[in-house]
Structure 1
Amino acid sequence: MSATPATTAIRPFTFEFTDAELDDLRARIEATRWPEKETVTDQSQGTQLATLRELARYWATEYDWRTVETRLKALPHYITEIDGLDIHFIHVRSKHEDALPLIVTHGWPGSVIEQLKIIEPLTDPTAHGGAASDAFHLVIPSMPGYGFSGKPTTKGWGPDRIARAWGELMNRLGYTRYAAQGGDWGAVITDTMAVQRPEGLIGIHTNMPKVVPPAIEQAIVLGNPLPSDVTLANDEEKAAVDQLDFVYRHVYYAYIMGSRPQSLAALADSPVGLAAFLLDHDRDSLALISRSFAGHDEGLTRDDVLDNITLFWLTNTALSAARLYAENTAPFFGAKGVTLPVAVSVFPDELYQAPLSWAKQAYPNLVHYNRLPKGGHFAAWEQPDLFVQEVRTGLRSLR
């Protein structure tokens, strides 16, 4: 990547959403034209009407965006141009000068809001049950087309280019030795960084590891039986194949975003339509979020969920975020050939539970592997305490 001194500048970033924008959002929610109830008694047809009606009621009458806005504004935000695109990031340095720099990448349908609960424990561990030696300097970027980052106007901003941009960002911040972390798309980008090996990257932590043997993933994607020369060594591997088969049969949002993202234009016009689409990421996450709107908080609250959806709405990034799926050309869960040190955390309600045997094959320099007792796809957001402990423990040997 080439750039001039003017474009490499790191500028402070501020944002403001007006009362008029929030009033318009509420008016649109209240004017929702509702569909009929689903014809099943479960979530097999997607986000249920009762969940959406309660979400809309709470969103329009009780939810206060200004609460999370205040939390966001209390953090140091910056923006810098990389490869012709403005990249937004939160940069929080620890008071502990020996802290390990760490770049943390969110996924879809996410944003930097996913990481808000882990910032203080990771940067100020002595105030949160850890030692000074556990400290991190955090860099939390918004992916292109997400949140406050620029929206690509041409094709080409896929995981490879984002990974290269993240290496440039860490270099531009003066970090000569750092680690990377990610889940969902963030895990894809983090693994890709580890393959690219930008100067300074010493290892990664992932909560959605890319360890599936290529022959197995290809068969599952195509809906074919496993090749005759492929054997599953244990119950963990058999369970993972079943889970991945279910995922590829039900991630219809990924297929439409990957092929026809512009046909989702209604998501820019209807906040409730946007919410219905963003909620339906995966079976377990939808069930968890639905329970939260039924009054049973289990890690994610109603406000957590609406904080993220409201950011999507206010920044009008539903379509620009969706195009990342159209840019990707690599298998989503397949091993990529990472040889740097890798720490793996396996949460029980993730899309699939990566077997230790596959992790050892995919990551020959595996420095940490742990299966957690609870938590799902949005681990940093849903189970921040467990997530923080995993990051501390998983990357400790790299300090």
Structure 2
Amino acid sequence: MQIEPFEIAIPDRDIDDLRERIRATRWAPGTPSPAWQQGADPAWLRELATYWAEHFDWREAERKLNRQAQFMTDIGGQRVHFVHRRGEGLSPYPLVITHGWPGSFFEFHALLDQLCDPAAFGADPADAFDVVVPSLPGFAFSPAPAQPGTSAFQVADLWVSLMRGLGYERFGAQGGDLGAGVSIALAARHPQAVDGIHLNFLPSSYEPAIGAARQPLTPDEEKFLRDKAEWAALEGGYAHMHSTKPQTAAASLNDSPVGLAAWIGEKFRAWSDCDGDVERVFSKDELLTNISLYWLTQSIGSSMQMYWENRLQPMRFIDGQRVVPPVGYAHFPKELSHPPRSWLERTFDVTQWTDMPSGGHFAAMEKPGLLATEIRQFFRPLREKRG
């Protein structure tokens, strides 16, 4: 596998075009509804857009992104962009971390510091990791797949090839959102390569085997399924659009930076532990670095494609099927859904479960220290088992 160093270098004309488009926005008329009740608040969106056009420094963001060692490779015809940061320690443990939507590899910059150099944060240097953070196909600098069929299961196959190409025959996996689905697929399809997986989200398409040989639903599980259905009805319109008509949404979001900022920014507010004030958790620069990655790579449409593919290949397990590698789960209080432990234990060997004190869907950005502690703790016995 040939690996090439990669550095982000967006042309000046693309940055100039972005600013011109923002300044030429035709703003939608407001409605007599409270702020955020019907989606992105127009006042907040105008403020963010003005900052994006007049004050946000993409070149500075680019310099910070390029501080992480990035690479490109080809795996069976699929180009993959990834960050590869080696740990500070005698025997760093290999870990692949997968992002989701509307995130990117940028989500993990603070977490990488914690995982790769634990001693700098007062933790045990023996807990250091070699971390690989690939960009999902169709996200940021990983081109969209040329052929249909790339769901979480096929991405898991790509990641195994990537890790082996980097010299890691066995490794751990971590993820939330779409990355949780990829991590589960890694454990289910490649138990010979994956020591264990750590999750901070359970994919909505996950269904354990519930048949005659299984226990009936518990009251907590029944409540979870009711809550899940209610959330999907009230908050899941974006996912239904992504998984049924992604190209319709892409036509407008790829043309309007303000539309893109509304589509993504509203999720960062709704899904984080911010008490309604998104900038209490994420700075404008952080929000716009992530949004700009979607805009400058024109990847919003291709990023939606994985929703389509995952709908066609949902994460459902047959009666009696078990995933062999152990699973750790960090349950953040402001996450989108709250599965009971028993729901996971129908399929997985859950060896670590922690109810976190704070944090939401973007745990690696919101609470990198808390998440790093959980990841270190989960993989410590697996690291020791490997010797």
TM-score higher than 0.5? yes
Cα 1:275–1:283 shift into 2, 3 Å: closer
Cα 1:270–1:12 shift into 2, 3 Å: same
1:374 aligns with one of 331, 336, 358: 358
Cα 1:133–1:286 shift into 2, 3 Å: closer
Partner of 1:270: 256
Distance 1:23 1:42 in 2: 31
1:80 matches 2:77 = no
Aligned residues: 373
Partner of 1:34: 27
Indicate if the aligned counterparts of 2:208 and 2:347 stay in contact, CA closer than 8 A: no
Partner of 1:106: 99
Partner of 2:140: 147
1:130-166 C-alpha deviation (Å, 9 max, x unpaired): 1111100000000000011122232121111101000
What's the secondary structure of 2:287's corresponding residue? helix
Distance 1:342 1:74 in 2: 32
Partner of 1:232: 218
Deviation at 1:284, TM superposition (A): 3.0
1:359 matches 2:347 = no
Distance 1:290 1:34 in 2: 23
Deviation at 1:289, TM superposition (A): 9.2
1:151-186 C-alpha deviation (Å, 9 max, x unpaired): 223212111110100011111111122100010000
1:28-70 C-alpha deviation (Å, 9 max, x unpaired): 1111100111332143321121221111122112221222211
Q: If the length of structure 2 is used for normalisation, what is the TM-score?
A: 0.90
Partner of 2:328: 343
Partner of 2:128: 135
Distance 1:144 1:242 in 2: 33
Partner of 2:288: 306
2:370 aligns with one of 367, 378, 386: 386
Deviation at 1:210, TM superposition (A): 5.1
1:79-228 matches, cutoff 5 A: 79-197=72-190, 199-209=192-202, 213-214=207-208
Distance 2:360 2:21 in 1: 31
Indicate if the aligned counterparts of 2:331 and 2:356 stay in contact, CA closer than 8 A: yes
Cα 1:283–1:151 shift into 2, 3 Å: same
1:183-221 C-alpha deviation (Å, 9 max, x unpaired): 0000000001100025421110000135965589xxxxx
Q: If the length of structure 1 is used for normalisation, what is the TM-score?
A: 0.87
Listed as ranges, the gaps of 5+ residues in structure 2 are: none
Distance 2:332 2:369 in 1: 13
Indicate if the aligned counterparts of 1:240 and 1:354 stay in contact, CA closer than 8 A: yes
1:256 matches 2:241 = yes
What's the secondary structure of 1:103's corresponding residue? strand
Indicate if the aligned counterparts of 1:167 and 1:198 stay in contact, CA closer than 8 A: no
Partner of 1:225: none
Deviation at 1:286, TM superposition (A): 7.0
Partner of 1:22: 15
* Most deviating of 278-287 and 203-212: 278-287
Listed as ranges, the gaps of 5+ residues in structure 1 are: 1-7, 217-228
What's the secondary structure of 1:12's corresponding residue? strand
1:283-302 matches, cutoff 5 A: 284-285=270-271, 288=274, 291-292=277-278, 296-298=279-281, 300-302=282-284
Partner of 1:46: 39
* Most deviating of 22-31 and 103-112: 22-31
Partner of 1:318: 300
Indicate if the aligned counterparts of 2:98 and 2:134 stay in contact, CA closer than 8 A: yes
Indicate if the aligned counterparts of 2:118 and 2:125 stay in contact, CA closer than 8 A: yes
Distance 1:317 1:182 in 2: 20
Aligned-partner residue type, residue 253 of structure 1? Y
Cα 1:333–1:185 shift into 2, 3 Å: farther
Cα 1:355–1:136 shift into 2, 3 Å: same
